[in-house]
Chains A and B, each alone.
Chain A
Amino acid sequence: MAIDKITTPAIADDAVTNAKVSYNNNQFRNIIINGDMSIAQRGTSFTGIGDGDSQYTLDRFKWAEEGSTDTAAYTISQSTTVPSGQGFAKSFKVDCTTADTSVDANNIQYVGTAIEGQNLQYLKYATSSAENMVLSFWVRSNKTGTYGVALINNESTERLYSQTYTISSADTWEKKTLSYVGDTSNGFDNDNGSSLLIQWYLVAGSGKTSGSSQTWGSNTQANRAAGQTVNLADSTSNEWYITGVQLEAGTTASDFEFLPHDVNENRCLRYCFVVGNTPTNGERNRYANVGTYYTATQFFSGVYYPVVMRATPSFTAVGSNTAQAFTIYSANAGKTSTAVGRDAISATNIGYVITTASAGQGDGGLGAWNVGYYGIIEAEL
């Protein structure tokens, strides 16, 4: 409640309005997932990010570089530097580790996230009732100046709505709010595809900044970061932080919608599930890989995910020598794997094929991820 004390003026002002009951009004109003940057299944620090990369780092947020070859490199991390008194514990940090003072005209580098079309239908795009939206976020950098940020309708006919924001004070958290008029002409497919992209540009060549955009229009490259003047890659002293990202229907930004940790994590698990001896979550399904030797040397095991994933995911085993990622315990013996692959995979479960030295065909067993090894199961957008 906006008013929590019964006073004479409050009694006189007895009308119930949206503004007075705005706290917790319209739950799950934030279209962005993990906007408080609290979930980081893949790890908390990613070094050497740079040319040609398009890599998810903290859950639901990726760093990407597009265009011609670029020499800049960065460390992306989950930071505890946050705006004071706002309730946030984590932020997304970009730290330039290799500078590039000369940006090619076609180069663009950004932090981005993406939204499924089926989560956007209530915006009623492509109708005369298309909802306006507001994007709000906290941002900080030593590098003051004008930055670009864009919404991109990523359907077959791409649409772009770019704006700028200005960081006025160095090394100071600032809250930015940008308003977007609804698009009455182009909508979002009602499916699990990547329909809406939100991109915060940190480096943009002249071919990406020379245009203009303050409304929905075709995805002209010159409009993408129109008006941006900052080059975050021009010094290894540069860093940029963001947290409290919220995109919501309406014309005014509400307070950031903090979700319970388990709810936030479950929403992220639809897109990424890290299993084994994981970087940040201890042990996830590390010893859950029950199975049987289908042949004398091939152990088959299947596990379910905690939530149904967005699509049939990809699988990546991670570790110093991923062939040895598992130990299979069977018939009173433990055998280290010599090869690890996946068998059947779907949006609900994955099957591993783990090769070991000869064992008893038909024997049951338990596959355990070894220390330092984990798997990334991804159905990202």
Chain B
Amino acid sequence: MIDTVKKDYNIITNEFCGYQVTYVNSNRVKSVPLAEDNTDYQAIQEWIADGGTVVDNPPE
């Protein structure tokens, strides 16, 4: 079960490149790419559609 989702930015270009996801009862952080056929990406979109809020701290 998704706990938190945070936008991930490319360290060189500063472009939005994916999500950092944490899960309930887990200390692991999954890096999920912006790929529509990635099932983690699909799960994030469903989580957002169900009201989940993505944390966005873009690089300055």
Contacts and interface: CB of A to CB of B under 8 A. Distances in A.
B42 to A, nearest CB: 9
Nearest to A342: B31
Contact of A315 (B25, B30, B39): B30
Interface in B9-48: 10-12, 24-25, 28-33, 35, 37-41
Given A52-B1, A52-B24, A313 B39 contact: no
Contacts of B25: 48, 50, 53
A341 B1 contact: no
A316 B37 contact: no
Given A192-B37, A343-B11, A381-B39, A314 B1 contact: no
B35 A316 contact: no
Given A312-B33, A312-B38, 4 more contacts: A298-B11, A316-B29, A316-B30, A317-B28
Nearest to B21: A314
The 8 closest A-B pairs by CB, nearest first: A52-B1, A312-B35, A311-B37, A316-B30, A315-B31, A314-B40, A312-B33, A314-B32
A12 B7 CA distance: 73
A109 B12 CA distance: 43
Nearest to B31: A315
Contact of A313 (B1, B24, B28, B33): B33
Range class of the B interface residue count: 10 to 19
29 contacts: A48-B25, A50-B25, A52-B1, A53-B1, A54-B1, A191-B37, A194-B39, A298-B11, A310-B37, A311-B37, A311-B38, A312-B35, A312-B38, A314-B30, A314-B32, A314-B33, A314-B38, A314-B40, A315-B31, A316-B28, A316-B30, A341-B11, A341-B31, A342-B31, A343-B11, A343-B12, A378-B40, A380-B39, A381-B39
Contacts of B11: 298, 341, 343, 353
Contacts of B37: 191-193, 310-312
Interface of A: 48, 50-54, 191-194, 294, 298, 310-318, 322, 341-343, 345, 353, 378-381
Contacts of A52: 1, 24
B31 A314 contact: yes
Nearest to B35: A312
Nearest to B3: A52
A48 B26 CA distance: 10
Contacts of B33: 312-314, 345
Contacts of A194: 39
Contacts of A310: 37
Which of A311, A312, A313, A314 has the most chain B CB within a 10 Å cutoff?
A: A314
A51 B28 CA distance: 17
Contacts of B29: 316-317, 322
A53 B3 CA distance: 11
A379 B38 contact: yes
B35 to A, nearest CB: 4
Contacts of B40: 314, 378
A193 B35 CA distance: 12
Nearest to B1: A52
